[in-house]
Structure 1
Amino acid sequence: MSVNPMAYEAQFFGFTPQTCMLRVYTAFQDYLFEVMLVVEGVILKKLEGFPHAEISPLQVRKGTEKFLLFMKERFEQLFSKMEEVLLQLVLNVPKNVLLPEDKVHEQYPYTKEQFQALQEEIDQLQQQYRAEASAEQALLAEIEEQKRVQAELEKILQWFEGLESICRAHGTSNFKESFTFLTQNSKKLQDVLKDVEKKSKKLRISDQLA
């Protein structure tokens, strides 16, 4: 069998020429074996009509095997010639024949160096795209963070506006004075809470002693 890969022929036909030849070879071999078995059966049947014949079925089998070996050797020689003819003339794609998907290479030929340069340019563009995509993701994340910060700032502004309204309601319009007023009131509340906690502790101690 041929060792030439014949890759372009395989692409053209949809199967490897070597595989085709192997199937033809196997089919001929199987057919030859079947024919010899049929011939052997016919001979054995004919011998049944000659009860005094000195030829035994074992001798017939040996003769069949010998003839089969002879035919197989002749077939091998013929098949080698047939394979050479088929692979060179029938299953061989001429050099001037191009597949439809390869005709673009004929229209736009390029050298190995040009292909390498094009591949490098593609790699650079892919890296640039990945960098831009990463930068876009970072920018989107920053925009989302800015939106959250803006929302918090708006809440703080609303809180200050509400605080200013409360201060106005208590007759203080200046924010600094209002803040001082709230601080003092907060301190008073803390003192009241401490006083309440002390009294509560005293009451608990009194209850325990009682």
Structure 2
Amino acid sequence: MMSSNTTTCVSTEEEERMFEYETQHLGFTPKAFCNGVYNAALEYIQKAIQEMETYLSEEYSTVMTPTQIKEACEVILSTMVSKLDKNFDIIETYLTKNVLTIPDNVLLPEDKAQAGETYSAEQEDVLDTEIQDLKDKILALKYANSKLKQEMNLIDIVQARFDQAQKQLQRLDDINSDSGVSDMKDCLMFTSQKVLELVSKVKAMQVKDKSSTMETDPRDRHTHKSSTMETDKRD
């Protein structure tokens, strides 16, 4: 048993195929024709109400104020549009079902080549498989295009960052040129080498200071020993 959703889907697809077929035969879609007629009727009504408002404002300005005339015309317009919508729904249904359709005995020129030909169930299955393969390829292409678009966005971001970094490097080069520095790389290497030499000298000085602090004068040790012995003798 077919569900209501499936029935609706099949019905919609069938209607779309019929609209395509009718468009080939008529040269326009029934929906577009009905919309055109409705818009034309609505435009005529609006122009008529506008002309009536102008006439009343000129001939009966002493009887009614412009505001009263405008409000009355708007009420009339609203009433007529409401009636137009209600009646046009009936007309549109009648046109799409009885007038703007292709009779069963009409065969379009592009379909005459297949007139009288019949297809077996196996051939229809093959066609259905080919159609499904084409649909899968279309979906795959859409997915690939989506991924490609994402990659292009990432490339744009990277390019923008690269351009910004390039501008900063150019700014540094301009500063170096204004300062008289010919080669930034050589200057940095020379400066780093001098800094390393200074660090080595400072470390060497720190080692010497520690050594001199730890060493004491031998005479001081002798004097300290003698004083200690004298103290013992007094005791």
TM-score by length of 2: 0.44
TM-score by length of 1: 0.49
